[in-house]
């Protein structure tokens, strides 16, 4: 009897494990269904072309207008600032940890660097608003009290551990024989690092950058606190802007009644944000495959 029970349980285990593996897929399907079902209701009210081409966003005015371009503009600009801050710092930190640091220093420095990833983003938001912005304004008086520059810089600080950790893993995976071959041909340590090791680990490095940008695009609390809620379509980084995530927070925490255009606009913005981050993840995978080196 016990053998029959064990046999039945053994047959059930693959199905049970499949259900666990399918949780992420089912969750993604549920998210897409929820966003699409509500976004369709919005596009019955607001033409999809107007939504994606208009530079005016006035959801609470007497004659509301819904154009997502100001939100996309703010999201992209803040993400560009973040990657300009995090990219060089994260990559140089990865180079140091992989190529120059001793084992003792690496064991101490890498966990310390990754502590940044554990800090709540709301803390980063208040850090940007109460510390970084006053410093920037003391140097650059034209910067507004809420602006896109400060949260962009702090988002860059936030994603440094992601770039540093992933890039360091990619650099470490390059075989030592390649380094030794370059050094034996007369290359210096610096030349070996930048002309041999980094190109050999290029797929992992680029993937870390793309994933970091995707993380910056989806950041919420930093931009909600420090960038303001002005729905400006501008390229002036000293001015207040609003990102897609900040708009979702603003509307969902307000008095938007269910069934109104402003309520449905949350889902329209959310589906656009979902597509952006999804495309970024696909891009990271495609780049990894394109530049992958097998040893």
Instruction: Please write the tens of the pLDDT for every residue from 257-268.
Output: 777 888 899 999
Of 221, 239, 247, nearest in space to 148 by CA:
239
Task: Show me where the domains of the chain are located.
Answer: 2-45, 69-291
Q: What is the pLDDT of residue 292?
A: 65
Region 95-108: what's the mean pLDDT? 86
pLDDT higher than 90, residue 31: no
pLDDT higher than 90, residue 86: yes
Q: Which residues does 286 contact at the CB level (< 8 Å), separation at least 6?
A: none
pLDDT higher than 90, residue 83: yes
Give the predicted TM-score (pTM) of the model.
0.87
pLDDT band with cut points at 50, 70 and 90 for residue 3? low
Instruction: Please write the tens of the pLDDT for every residue from 192-221.
Output: 988 888 888 888 888 889 889 988 998 888
Across the chain, mean pLDDT equals 86
Q: What is the pLDDT of residue 295?
A: 56
Q: What is the pLDDT of residue 9?
A: 73
Q: What is the pLDDT of residue 148?
A: 93
pLDDT band with cut points at 50, 70 and 90 for residue 77? very high
Lowest mean pLDDT segment, chosen from 110-114, 260-264, 285-289 = 285-289
Name the CATH superfamily housing domain 69-291. MetI-like (1.10.3720.10)
Q: Which two tokens stand for residue 142?
A: 């034209």
Q: Which two tokens stand for residue 217?
A: 């695009």
């Amino acid at each position: 009897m016990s053998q029959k029970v064990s046999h039945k349980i053994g047959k059930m285990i693959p199905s049970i494990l499949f259900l666990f593996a399918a949780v992420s897929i089912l969750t993604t399907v549920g998210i897409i269904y929820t966003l699409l079902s509500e976004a369709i209701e919005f596009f019955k009210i607001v033409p999809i072309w107007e939504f994606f081409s208009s530079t005016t966003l006035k959801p609470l005015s007497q004659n509301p207008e819904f154009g997502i371009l100001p939100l996309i503009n703010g999201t992209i600009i803040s993400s560009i600032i973040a990657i300009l801050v995090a990219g060089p710092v994260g990559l140089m930190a990865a180079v140091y940890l992989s190529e120059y640091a001793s084992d003792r220093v690496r064991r101490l420095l890498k966990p310390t660097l990754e502590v940044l990833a554990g800090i709540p983003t709301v803390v980063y938001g208040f850090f940007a608003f109460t510390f970084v912005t006053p410093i920037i304004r003391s140097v650059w008086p034209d910067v507004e009290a809420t602006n896109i520059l400060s949260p962009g810089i702090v988002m860059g600080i936030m994603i440094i551990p992601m770039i540093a950790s992933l890039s360091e893993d990619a650099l470490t995976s390059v075989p030592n024989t390649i380094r030794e071959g370059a050094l034996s041909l007369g290359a210096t340590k610096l030349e070996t690092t930048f002309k041999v090791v980094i190109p050999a680990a290029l797929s992992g490095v680029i993937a870390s950058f793309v994933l970091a940008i995707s993380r910056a695009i989806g950041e919420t609390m930093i931009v909600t606190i420090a960038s303001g809620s002005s729905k400006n379509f501008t390229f002036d980084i000293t001015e207040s802007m609003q990102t897609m995530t900040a708009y979702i927070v603003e509307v969902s925490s307000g008095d938007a009644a269910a069934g109104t255009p402003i309520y449905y606009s949350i889902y329209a913005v959310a589906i656009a944000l979902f597509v952006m981050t999804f495309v970024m993840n696909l891009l990271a995978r495609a780049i990894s495959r394109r530049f992958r080196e097998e040893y």
